[in-house]
Amino acid sequence: MRRIVSLLPFLASLLIFGTTHELIVRSFEKETIELALKPIYTPVEQTKAYLFTQTGHRVAKRRGEDSFFFDVSRTDWIIVEAFGKNSAGYPMRGSNPSFVTLSAYRQEPQIFLFTDPEKHVLYIGIKLPRSWQFTDCEFQNLRFKRFTFNDILYLYTSEKPKDGIHALTLNFQLPYGLKKTLKMDVFVFHGLVNLLRGSKAPMKVEPVPPYNHVVKPGETLWSIANMYGLRIADLELANGIEDGSFIVSGTVLKLARVHFDASLTSLVINISTGRLALYYNGVLVKVFPVAVGRSDMTPPGTYWIMKKEVDPALYWFGEYIPPRSPINGLGTRFFQLSNPTYGIHGTTKPWEIGKRISHGCIRMFNQDIETIDAFVDVGTKVVVVRNTEEFPTRWAF
């Protein structure tokens, strides 16, 4: 009988093999996962942990007070191997769960904002990755309701937000205890809300023969674009390049031409009256004064904003003129249009606004183009017209 009693703790450990430690995911950043292993017994020594992955066993990179940090790059799953010892001196092995897929931790939700300019309702659309759960939203203390449609969670409120730059915070619950918070800056203009500096409008990427190019020493995006009859912005957008000034030899670039079809934000420029109108979902938001090209140097037509730059440098006949230089006439912002000959930019000569003075570009007060830059998306449609009419309150784009 004594022998049987003494074996009970050991037999119990066998019965719960694989569930002697509760696995908790504390964080996941840059392919490093932080795991805590909570013993469901009375431990007499520190728990040890290893991982088995697609590429073999891995030991912890470092250990926290009660957690382990593991490199989980180059693997889609992990098997957690945990070891401890209980107060009776018996080994306690295993975790619950023991097998964890990593796809949920590597994904990000798709988030978009939309304001109904007539009903004054703000919508936040969230497409959640599988296994994610939305918990709450914080934005200017506004109260949100929610509904789900076509697998997209919508938060909405009819309370009007305050203009300016504000933080939007979204909280989520991921598998095995991980809490994730996403914070983003948004810009509110006349009660309309967009991500600060906008996002990218839906675009089509048209591959161009020979479809790929390996960057050679000394090449630039400008020289490569000219080689294939493309725009620098095509290469940047198609390859996800944020700053085309620095490309590394040996990089494989996708050759493609980018097209935009529709945009939530739009600009209409009247070269006869020297005015620019900002529209949101076809509704007029505000009108700004501009300087336009001499004579017919700014041709009417439809364009798209392909790139937005902060404090742009000026390249004038091969000469580099740094940002914010008194002789750099681009001001604090520059929008490259789909016809690379033309752009919309600020100015170092505000007294020229309202005149026909440029070589074809549209000039604005710096504070005005900074406001537009904070609000509109890359891919915004730009329509140039020539007439003497006032801007309509609605425009059918």
Catalytic residues: 345, 361
Angle, alpha carbons 114-134-130 (nearest 5°): 100
Distance from chain centroid for Cα 228:
29
Among 140, 377, 138, residue whose Cα is nearest residue 278:
377
Angle, alpha carbons 360-362-368 (nearest 5°): 170
Integer Cα distance of 130 and 104 in angstroms: 7
Integer Cα distance of 182 and 200 in angstroms: 19
CB 321 within 8 A of CB 315: yes
Q: What tokens appear for 75 in the block?
A: 């693997």
Integer Cα distance of 121 and 143 in angstroms: 12
Strands (E), 40-86: 48-53, 56-58, 62-63, 67-71, 77-85
CB 230 within 8 A of CB 241: no
Query: Which residue is it, tokens 């490093």?
Result: 32
3-state secondary structure of 161: coil
3-state secondary structure of 16: coil
Q: If residue 228 lies in a helix (H) or strand (E), which one and from where to where?
A: helix 221-228
Query: Which residue is it, tokens 């170092």?
Result: 348
- What residues does 394 pair with on adjacent strands? 283
Integer Cα distance of 301 and 255 in angstroms: 26
Sorted by sequence, the CB contacts under 8 Å of residue 165 that are 6+ apart come out as 185, 186, 187, 188, 196, 374
Q: What tokens appear for 120 in the block?
A: 């004054």
Q: What tokens appear for 372 in the block?
A: 């537009």
Sorted by sequence, the CB contacts under 8 Å of residue 242 that are 6+ apart come out as 236
3-state secondary structure of 313: coil
